[in-house]
Every structure is written in C-alpha cells, then in structure tokens.
Chains A and B, each alone.
Chain A
Amino acid sequence: MFDKLRNLFQPDEEPPRLAAYSPPPDQPAVPLELTRPSNGLEQFFQALGGQDRLKVLDLCGSPATTEYLFEQQQIPRPDPFYRALELAFGSGPGYLDRQLEEDRVEIFTQHTLDHKEGEFDAVLLWDCLQYLRPELLGPVLEQIRSITRPGAPLFAIFHADDRAEQVPVFSYQIQARNQLYLLERDRRQPAQHFSNQAIDRIFKNFGLRKFFLARDQLREVLIWR
C-alpha cells in the first residue's frame, strides 16, 4: 500500500487528485493511508520554543498523537471535535444543511471546544475547519481564538483540490516531529474550498500566517494567535 502510494507521489508524475480517491461504485472502499513528511508540523514544534508542559489542544485527538505529545513532556488535550460534528449534524449527505439548524449547533457547541479562556498554548486544528459552513466557521474560529493565549501557534491542514466533491477525513497521527501518518476514516463533502487568500481571510483576527507548499493535495498552514 505504502509503496503504491509512494510511486503515486513521485514528483515527475501528475499528483493524484483527491477526487480520484473515490472508488468506483462496484469496488469496496479501501481506507487511504499515507505517511508524509510535514514541514508545518516541524515548525509548529519549533514555535513551542523548546518549552515543556505546554497545554496543546488537539482537535483530532488520535491516541497516537496524545501519547507522542505526552512523551514530548507537553500536556495534550484531545477534543472530540469530529465526534461532536457527527453527533450534531451526522456524516451523510445533508450534514452541511443541518449546520443551519440552531438546536443542532447547540448540541455541537456543548460537545466541543468548551474550554477556559486563554487555556491553551498551542492548537492542532488539522483539517476540521474544512467541514464547517461559513455560518458556523466564524463562531468556531472566534471560540478557538478565545481559548488560546496570544502568540500561541495553530497548525491547520486544508485539502488543496478545489474540484474534489468529496475529500478523505483523516485521522492524523504524529509519528515524529516532522512526520505524520494519515489514515482515512471517512469521506465527506467539504463545506468550502480554501484558497490561500480564503485561508488568509478567515484568520484575519489572528496574527502571522505561514503557508507551506501543498503536497499530497494537502496544504499546511501555521497561524499565530
């Protein structure tokens, strides 16, 4: 599987498009998995400035990442963001429309991002922002901003293919300071596609933004609160 993927990602070849990840209807879906180097993650750790016992909010909350951060002497705080998303809006078609229903939004906010003001020193957002409609994205980003201390680094990933109808929802696991293991756990329609300008716009209330070159159809962004 890995060799196959590595061959697919040879630089002299056309990189695969995320749309191509959808298997033909007569074939069973095989979860996509890949290991990729991550410059964004490496710089996220550099931004922690060698300090330990920093409280790191992790919106993917994979056990491997929690263990990794713990071993790095940080204080990981997994947050059930994706679970709250599924619980409140479901995962099937129409989950974006359901984000307009107030009672569902209330369930969502009850289950995720309910933390104290300025509690976190860093945030791993992963690709979670991609599954929120603009109506929900604004308040969620404001909440994230309020629970992080000024100057805190935030690491986000955006799917770079603006033509993909469905994108893989990955479980992101930190394997090393500059290496990620991605395991597909679902596929869903992104709420919106983010160009660099769009990303810049949604983080206008934050500080500096640093964009990394897209690889494997994923763009990493480091943002400072």
Chain B
Amino acid sequence: MSTAPTVRSYEPETPRGVATIGKAVYVKGQIIAREDLIVDGQIEGTVEAHEHRITIGPNGRVAATIKARHVIIQGQVTGNVEGSEKVEIRNGAKLLGDVRTVKFVCEEEGTINGSVASLRPEPKPAPASEAKERAASAAATAQTPAPSEPKK
C-alpha cells in the first residue's frame, strides 16, 4: 500500500509581495519597486515605490531620494524623503534630508536634520473648455442689464 507523497512547499522568509534588500547587499542606481520593499543593506541613488511601502531597516544605510506611499525609517538615510501617505522616523533612525508627506510621525529617539513639509494634493486646474465656458458666462452676466422697475 502506497502513501501519497508529501508535498514540501517553499515558504519565503518575507511575506508575499515584499521585496528585501539584505544587509550584505549594496546597490548603486535606481530602484523602482512595484511591491513593498524592505532595505536592510546599502543603497546609493534613488528608490521609488509610488503605490507601496518602503522600510529602511535598522541595518539600512541609504544615500538616496526615497519616494513611496508610506516610508518607514529605522536605519540611516541621507537624502530627501517623500511619502504620499505617511513618513515614520522610528527610534534609533537618522535622517539627513527634507521630508514631504501628508502624515508625519517621529519617535522620541528618532533624529531628523532637515525640514518637514506637508504634502498637499495640488488642486487640479479646470479643463480649458470649462474655463472658457466659465469666462463666457461671467461676461454674459456682466453685460446683462439690471432689471428695470416694473411699469405700473
């Protein structure tokens, strides 16, 4: 009688949809991530993950501009950081650069040497046709004579 073969599955150490740059890795150049990214190594250049989260781990040493939806810094970063949703500076983290974000959190032992500006969504300019219509309607209103007194 034979038993069914055991299927051994490979479980990655990081959850699915998360890329990791390990602490023995050095990257120079541009990184564009289409999933969450954990950086525990060294990066020089730019790191972007517009719709995702970038975490700079405690061993991470990054000399780069970082752009992501959500940025968490636990290591050291030299460069500007832009988080379209949130930027967090955790205890022990060091950031030398400016931050632009919607929500900003800095833990008591986090260090930042740079300005922290609010990233507000820019108001969208009205389409040209709509603007023309508005201008025309404004002109028409201006030319309309004031209503005269009703004749008795």
Contacts and interface: CB of A to CB of B under 8 A. Distances in A.
B117 A63 contact: no
Contact of B108 (A55, A63, A80): A63
Nearest to B117: A75
Contacts, number: 41
B114 interface: yes
B107 A78 contact: no
A62 B109 CA distance: 9
* Chief secondary structure at chain A's binding surface: mixed
B116 A80 contact: no
Contacts of A78: 112-114
Interface in A181-206: none
Interface string B106-125: 11101111111110000000
Interface residues of B, number: 15
Interface size class of A (residues with CB under 8 A): 10 to 19
B110 A63 contact: yes
A137 B107 CA distance: 31
Most buried by A among B104, B105, B110: B104
Nearest to B106: A63
Contacts of B110: 63
A91 B111 CA distance: 19
Interface of A: 53, 55, 61-64, 66-67, 69-70, 73, 75-80
Given A69-B116, A75-B115, A77-B116, 19 more contacts: A53-B117, A53-B118, A61-B112, A61-B113, A63-B89, A63-B108, A63-B110, A63-B112, A64-B108, A66-B106, A66-B112, A66-B116, A67-B104, A67-B105, A70-B118, A73-B118, A76-B116, A77-B114, A77-B115
